[in-house]
Amino acid sequence: MRALVVEDDPEVGADLRHALQMAGFVADLATDGETAWYQGDVEDYDVVVLDLGLPKLDGLSVLKRWRAAGRNFPVMILTARGDWTEKVEGIEAGADDYLAKPFAMGELIARLRGLIRRAAGRASPILTIGGLALDTSRMIATVDGAPVRLSPLEFRFLDYLTHQSGRVISAGEIAEHLYGAGDTTDANTIEALVARLRRKIGTSVIETRRGLGYTLAETTP
């Protein structure tokens, strides 16, 4: 999953980005409203953490611009504790959830995963694809009940595809959600990743659509 953290406090922003990366996200950081608006307008994020008090362009204006442009990724706004006006304004502007500062990183991660699941129309963090069970909250995978060891990159690949139900995903789009901004990869890298996964979880889970990309066999929430 690919996330954008929008926070002007360098220490808080770095902590948020690190926590997301440790939880298996690819996380970009924007420190002002204009940069955030641009990144959200041109990049394809799965979720955004948005502080409201930003330089150059405030968070509410950024959110309104995204929604007006049809950018529908889930947005979690960060508000001052007890400031109910910020919460109301954020929800009315198109936010999907809010979290008051200070907050526990574990709660933030859990709520972000919930937003992503709801956006994909899934109620449970555990997804079943054939004999594969994928716990997207604890980052644990089993095949026919037996644990299987996946690298963080392999897990992110499966995590992203499970949230794209019914879609064939191109190698380029997959790369955008597996690697950070500025990293380069190619179709051969994705093919090698798929080959490794098939050796671990079986050949029937990931389907290749020649010339188009990859999809998963039908998932069960």
* 200 belongs to a structural domain: yes
Its pTM stands at 0.73
pLDDT per position as a tens digit, 66-121: 999 999 999 999 887 667 777 788 888 889 998 888 889 999 999 998 898 887 77
pLDDT per position as a tens digit, 174-219: 888 887 655 556 678 888 999 999 999 888 888 888 888 898 876 5
**CA dist 15 to 102, 105, 117, 138, Å?**
13, 9, 24, 20
Our count of domains for the chain comes to 2
Claim to verify: residue 91 and residue 130 sit in the same structural domain: no
Instruction: Give the structural domain span for 91.
Output: 2-119
* 221 belongs to a structural domain: no
Assess contact for 42 and 85: CB atoms under 8 A: no
Contacts of 141 (CB under 8 A, 6+ apart): 132, 133, 134, 135, 147, 148, 150, 155, 158, 201
